[in-house]
Structure 1
């Protein structure tokens, strides 16, 4: 019997991107997502409501991308689909896309949204931009034409008479026939997006927000047509059907315009990459399309140019404005060996560099991919809103039916009155505001975070960040610079500071020890002249011994000094004081005499103090987690004002320390930058990677701080909390609005006050609620975030 190794032949999962052109509302897109989830072979679905794009994972053993597109077309969705390789979802990995049934591709034209366009094109992500603009433009066109036809219907209706307009319709037409002629194209052409969406839902045995609009307009229009033919034109209200359609179009246009606009700022980041680059070939600079640049190519950058791709400077020097990537306003010096990032702007100098990352692997493309993934993701609160929206549709339909029956049989009113109340109740309860409450806030918040240098990988990460009450910082490379620097030069009596530092740096100059290199760098930064020693000997664990300018020089610890019989006088007290501050102090001696002490430390980032203060202002506890000795860790913690120090923790135990905090009921964010931080980042409720950290830390984290600035942690929590506040405001408004609006529209105030809301005004109020929710989310862009303690 032969045994087959099925694992070797496992079919890789496939992905499909679906751009839908006839889903015009948040709840309609939610229905599409729900519909796709039930398709055989589909393994995952998410609909990006900000761009009307669905992302599907599917098993190619059971279904193909072409079959899914055929099904969507048969179900009434106007869409285009592109197969996307699974790696496309991973930042930095190239993706392969193949579009199904796209006419341009049949003639050899390249896809509009290939990874090359993501990475290189001057019209970055143009497929999404054009897709969104087309939908917004189509809705605007329908609204304007419908408005032009609706206004005359209203003027020649009882509404116009109420405002003193008493003219009769032209061409000798009756008001009823005039309404038939003008309202029919409004309802069936202008309102087709609503009617077609309602029909799709009906075929699935479902109802959605579009069902409510279509029901209201078609009931009004159908009854009026019946009255025109069978009742001689009595009791028609074509103006209600036309105004309901037109105002619904207005509301959806405003909503779509705001919804698509939320992604433009982020998508515009890709336009920072130029469309061409100067490649050096055979010693000559040749301008080529950006997509032709490969890793290892030598590129030239002139003053004022944008750096085309990521790379490392080969020759020349300049200053580069990196504010578009890091947010830091001060240009950064670039010389041979330093890294440059695509999309940044060169200043006055010129240089050449080797490309190290192109296409989807560049930092710029990875940032945009992270942000777009986050904006497309669904927050936990959205699931509740979707369920509530579905329930509200049936509440609205039930309210409309109940209002019709109550006014017809118990209220003593005619059919027209009953229909008016029923249609108004159905229309005003459209749950589009509820469907948009969460995604608009999430989308705007993620975009705002990107501009602040905070990248949330998904909506769940943003929501989780809002609940953080404890932030754990790794010390080295996060709170500190990650490399030692010269901090103190303390000469003995009778010795000049400059002589002390010159001899110490000259003796250390050949050493490759990090502490010795820190002393040399510090001396160079202070303008001290360093000479190469005549002799040099490294004494492991103790220091160095060298001959500088003919003088025997020692640089090292007390053991070395005692071994050589060097009297130290009062210098040990200085060394103890420096050690208490977390610094590594070394004695310097020459000619058998102690000259003084130099001290080195991993210097604290300027932004670390600001980070701790800002977090305390947000009532967030701060914890330092480090493998360093307790004295050094506590010295740094004292300078920063941190609440808790967890020192001498082995790399493998960091995750366990995070777990201990979680068992105390704390919601923990872990901030780190190294490989040894990855398990702790994964264990924390929110893992946060400093942008300059290792790839494994960045990949493991939920949030990335692009600027390598720990103070951005406070910004991320402040931003997340305010997004959560916007979501709560939007959900509260959407729910309260419907609870109050449905009884009003159904005529609850008519017996006491004679107030009956007509369908057209119900449509206006429905649209207003959607716009209010969207605008409330957009106003978040003006909110100030907590980045420093309040003054």
Structure 2
């Protein structure tokens, strides 16, 4: 019985620990919310005869809501030997309590605590993409030593080791193929929509997927120096860089606090000796100054406007991960786009079916699709899908199928021998001369060509292309009309990049980009133009998304891209980028209005206090009233 009771106790303890673990990242938000409830309770109680209970409620609101910020402020002051806004807010709230204005002081604590909680939550969310990336790194590899296969951890691999990679497995480390032929899906690294054929002496990259044949690969780089690890490192480095706005705020913060506290300190003594004020009047005026000079209205100038704009964007399928990213959108000079899955649909589609003179187009397409239905290659799947839609009939079953790795497929229908694959597989001279060089023209326009041979004679070809999205031209033209320069960064060849760039209406393009190349291009654009955004959807885009001033991800993209990006377009709707920029410009205008208005009010209240024109109740009304007006102005962004 005792053992059973202990087992039950352990089982019951798990959910509690799990709940606490889930609540921990939101501790500041929970504390701020509780503080808000206590403030409301204290205010209601203060209207009756429960003054003592009211004060207790306010004290609890101070402690619960202000603890995290007070600890943060004290810790930062000790470590950096520099005063900060957290300390000023705490002192302003205490000053309000000293002169009997508990509600005002508690509200100051609540507003600052809530903004801090939202900031912490955003920072925690931004760290998830590293763990998402790491999930794609294989943990084990099959090492070959003297003909014996041994499963080892990838960290044990050394340069020169031979490993076996089977179909369907991810490549564990960068290397060079020594034996075998296959098709590799390199989307994770280069972003290419169409898998590429690999054979002996070709390079393979960690994180890519071996689709067809078995490979023997010689390791050429230590595990910690692979291209995949570089992606992770680039993301980490880019995230650790602070924005210019953040650096400016950090420099300004200490000076602001010092100035206010110095003036308050002088206010507590100088008027008594210089102007003959009584000690009571001097302290009273100093406390008014501490209240009206607190940055409550300045804080409210930005946060409500930002939250309103973020809510507006969410309603229209645009998710912002923080106010700084929303703010930066209005300053953009250049937007760089990934090609695959961003400007294009990300999946190859059949665009042309051409057959030799005298041959039946439907028969050629039917038998080609019937053969390709036995392959899981993306091109084969596209051909099968197209044939079923066009022909509207069941496919045939070949008498025999032989997969020639890296080249194509052989098949037999009754007394006919068929070949489907690359130009070299069916004979390059015949392929290039077919239909007056049609294949060459199609290839130059960025299309992938699959050739069909029947009984040794070239019967036809099928051209496929990663098709540009319907809304791409509209989106690019809209951005260009706003004076924004557009660039396409892609891992595809020069021919494909040139064709897609022309069709998409982008101003420029850079082809054959690896992840590190995209990062270098983003840095180059930042040096030349200033504020740059990157739009992408793949794992390979993550470093560039993190390096850009604003990273924008397509909603149907990889988890890593979604986590790394600052802005997410939920419906892959490119024209939403222009809407996001318009929203950003509206928000920045309203923020400027709020800041100018709040500073004018604060300066007017400070001047009135020096001239003894204003008492504490009116100072509080003016200060809190300006905050309310600023918030109401910000709420216009909800429309």
* CA distance in 2: counterparts of 1:117 and 1:638, whole angstroms: 51
Of 758, 761, 765, which aligns to 2:615?
758
Of 629, 637, 653, which aligns to 2:501?
637
Q: Deviations over 1:726-760 (max 9, x none)?
A: 54444333322212221134337xxxxxxx33321
Q: Deviations over 1:36-70 (max 9, x none)?
A: xxxxxxxxxxxxxxxxxxxxxxxxxxxxxxxxxxx
Cα gap change, 1:730 to 1:563, in 2 (>3 Å): closer
Q: Deviations over 1:132-153 (max 9, x none)?
A: 442111101111222346xxxx
The secondary structure found in structure 1 opposite 2:488 is: strand
Q: Deviations over 1:409-461 (max 9, x none)?
A: 6xxxx999888866655543332223444455555666666666666666665
Q: Which runs of 5+ in 2 are unaligned?
A: 1-12, 126-244
Name 1:531's counterpart in structure 2: 396
Q: Determine if the alignment matches structure 1 residue 471 to structure 2 residue 335.
A: yes
Name 2:462's counterpart in structure 1: 598
Cα gap change, 1:190 to 1:559, in 2 (>3 Å): closer
Q: Deviations over 1:665-704 (max 9, x none)?
A: 44333344445445544544445555655566566x3536
Q: Determine if the alignment matches structure 1 residue 668 to structure 2 residue 525.
A: no
CA positional deviation for 1:764: 0.9
* CA distance in 2: counterparts of 1:440 and 1:386, whole angstroms: 20
Of 601, 612, 617, which aligns to 1:737?
601
Cα gap change, 1:497 to 1:144, in 2 (>3 Å): farther
* CA distance in 1: counterparts of 2:117 and 2:326, whole angstroms: 20
Q: Determine if the alignment matches structure 1 residue 391 to structure 2 residue 254.
A: no
* CA distance in 2: counterparts of 1:671 and 1:185, whole angstroms: 58
CA positional deviation for 1:767: 1.0
* CA distance in 1: counterparts of 2:272 and 2:471, whole angstroms: 65
CA positional deviation for 1:548: 3.6
Cα gap change, 1:563 to 1:644, in 2 (>3 Å): closer
Name 1:138's counterpart in structure 2: 38
Name 2:449's counterpart in structure 1: 585
The secondary structure found in structure 1 opposite 2:43 is: helix
The secondary structure found in structure 2 opposite 1:114 is: helix
Q: Deviations over 1:369-409 (max 9, x none)?
A: xxxxxxxxx95565356442553354356457666767646
The secondary structure found in structure 1 opposite 2:337 is: strand
The secondary structure found in structure 2 opposite 1:637 is: helix
CA RMSD after TM alignment: 5.1
Name 2:480's counterpart in structure 1: 616
Cα gap change, 1:127 to 1:500, in 2 (>3 Å): same
Name 1:516's counterpart in structure 2: 380
The secondary structure found in structure 2 opposite 1:648 is: coil
* CA distance in 2: counterparts of 1:493 and 1:672, whole angstroms: 43
The secondary structure found in structure 2 opposite 1:664 is: helix
* CA distance in 1: counterparts of 2:330 and 2:247, whole angstroms: 13
Name 1:232's counterpart in structure 2: none
The normalised TM-score by structure 2 is 0.61
CA positional deviation for 1:542: 6.1
* CA distance in 1: counterparts of 2:443 and 2:15, whole angstroms: 68
8 Å contact from structure 2 (residues 347, 467) kept in 1? yes
The secondary structure found in structure 1 opposite 2:16 is: coil
* CA distance in 1: counterparts of 2:631 and 2:265, whole angstroms: 25
* CA distance in 2: counterparts of 1:253 and 1:725, whole angstroms: 27
CA positional deviation for 1:640: 1.0
Name 1:159's counterpart in structure 2: none
Cα gap change, 1:613 to 1:385, in 2 (>3 Å): farther
Name 1:646's counterpart in structure 2: 510
CA positional deviation for 1:547: 3.3
Q: Determine if the alignment matches structure 1 residue 110 to structure 2 residue 10.
A: no
Name 1:337's counterpart in structure 2: none
8 Å contact from structure 1 (residues 489, 597) kept in 2? yes
Q: Which runs of 5+ in 1 are unaligned?
A: 1-106, 119-124, 150-181, 220-240, 270-377, 749-755, 784-791
Cα gap change, 1:495 to 1:437, in 2 (>3 Å): same
CA positional deviation for 1:487: 2.5
The secondary structure found in structure 1 opposite 2:499 is: helix
Cα gap change, 1:401 to 1:215, in 2 (>3 Å): farther
The secondary structure found in structure 1 opposite 2:492 is: coil
Q: Determine if the alignment matches structure 1 residue 705 to structure 2 residue 611.
A: no
Alignment of 1:78-477 (within 5 A): 110=16, 113-115=19-21, 131-148=31-48, 192=59, 208-209=88-89, 211-212=91-92, 215=95, 218=98, 244-245=101-102, 255=111, 379-380=246-247, 382-383=249-250, 386-387=253-254, 388-389=256-257, 391-395=259-263, 398=266, 408=276, 424-441=288-305, 467-477=331-341
Cα gap change, 1:424 to 1:500, in 2 (>3 Å): same
The secondary structure found in structure 2 opposite 1:473 is: strand
* CA distance in 2: counterparts of 1:631 and 1:555, whole angstroms: 23
Q: Deviations over 1:106-139 (max 9, x none)?
A: x999258534569xxxxxx886665444211110
CA positional deviation for 1:762: 1.5
* CA distance in 1: counterparts of 2:275 and 2:62, whole angstroms: 27
The secondary structure found in structure 2 opposite 1:761 is: helix
8 Å contact from structure 2 (residues 542, 565) kept in 1? no
Cα gap change, 1:404 to 1:678, in 2 (>3 Å): same
Structure ID, larger Rg: 1
Which has the larger share of helix?
2
* CA distance in 1: counterparts of 2:543 and 2:522, whole angstroms: 10
The secondary structure found in structure 2 opposite 1:208 is: helix
The normalised TM-score by structure 1 is 0.50
Q: Deviations over 1:581-617 (max 9, x none)?
A: 3212345465777665422112234454454345335
Q: Determine if the alignment matches structure 1 residue 481 to structure 2 residue 345.
A: yes
Name 1:772's counterpart in structure 2: 629
Highest RCO, 1 vs 2 (Cα 8 Å, sep ≥ 6): 2
* CA distance in 2: counterparts of 1:565 and 1:192, whole angstroms: 88
The secondary structure found in structure 2 opposite 1:110 is: helix
Cα gap change, 1:416 to 1:256, in 2 (>3 Å): closer
